[in-house]
Amino acid sequence: MARIIGGIGTSHVPTIGAAYDNRRQNDPAWAPLFKGYEPVAQWLAETQPDVMVMFYNDHANSFFFDCYPTFALGVSPNHAFADEGAGKRPLPDIAGHPDLAIHIAEHMIDDEFDLAIFQERPLDHGCNSPLSLMLPHEGGWPMALVPMEVNVLQYPLPTAMRCYRLGQSLRRAIESFPQDLKVVVVGTGGLSHQVHGERSGFNNTDWDLEFLDLIVHDPQRLAQMKHVDYVRLGGAESVETIMWLAMRGALGDKVREVHRNYYLATSTAMAVTLYEDEVTQ
């Protein structure tokens, strides 16, 4: 039987990938961020998951506003990465896991989540920016990826509670998969930031830190919040953090925070966190 061994929350700021590709890991402005990912990379190397399921959003590269699905699951045997206008990042393609992905699709649709299914759509920085910091990839990636796109761009968005329940459904799907697999679930996005309008450049560190506490100890409170609450507290684009709730829903009722790193050096508050179910300790 497949099982979830942990969850990861991470920002997906495109400049993270650009800094990595330009070898700025030791620059004073970037070192605190990159150092923050090292414990997560070490945990992944030690636990060796077979599959990573990642909740991410596409930034109008593979999906566009004329047809942007609420939830879309990638079932391809291979996933390429998108050229977002500045040239494709020097990353190899990553293998998918079609058997698990198809099982998840069938289970979640039976669970009344109406998923779109996609193949051969390249993954943009919503996925590849944090991925390149968490996993070695010269010569290939050490695990397969099952990507699940979430609409956090074009209203109406799925509610925070809907995303939390999506994660709960994912857990049931994974635990009903007969093959013996270790799975890690990742939620991406945020934290506080706004890139347009009168509040462009807005951040709220107090709220970011409260959010990081609540997602461990009281995710139901976060799930009950409305989009307008996320926008007011963290800026318009911070609504991306509902994807963290999808990840959290895939974990148990009680989790242990293994690692947290928070860094605000640009217009986006950036964080990476690692969780394990308490019952597995």
Q: Which residues have a catalytic role annotated?
A: 125, 193
Q: At what angle do helices 31-47 and 14-21 cross, to 10 degrees?
A: 90
Length of the chain: 281
Strands 78-79 and 94-95: antiparallel
Angle at 105 between CA 101 and CA 110, to 5 degrees: 150
CA distances from 59 to 9, 18, 90 (A): 19, 16, 19
Q: Which residue has the tokens 């190899």?
A: 92
CA angle 234, 239, 245 (to 5 degrees): 110
Q: Rounded to whole angstroms, how far apart are CA atoms 5 and 272?
A: 17
- Give CA–CA dist 52/35, Å, rounded: 22
Neighbours of 88 (CB within 10 A): 12
Backbone dihedral angles phi then psi of residue 183, each to the nearest 5 degrees: -125, 135
Read out DSSP for 152-182?
A: -SSSSPPPHHHHHHHHHHHHHHHHT--S--E
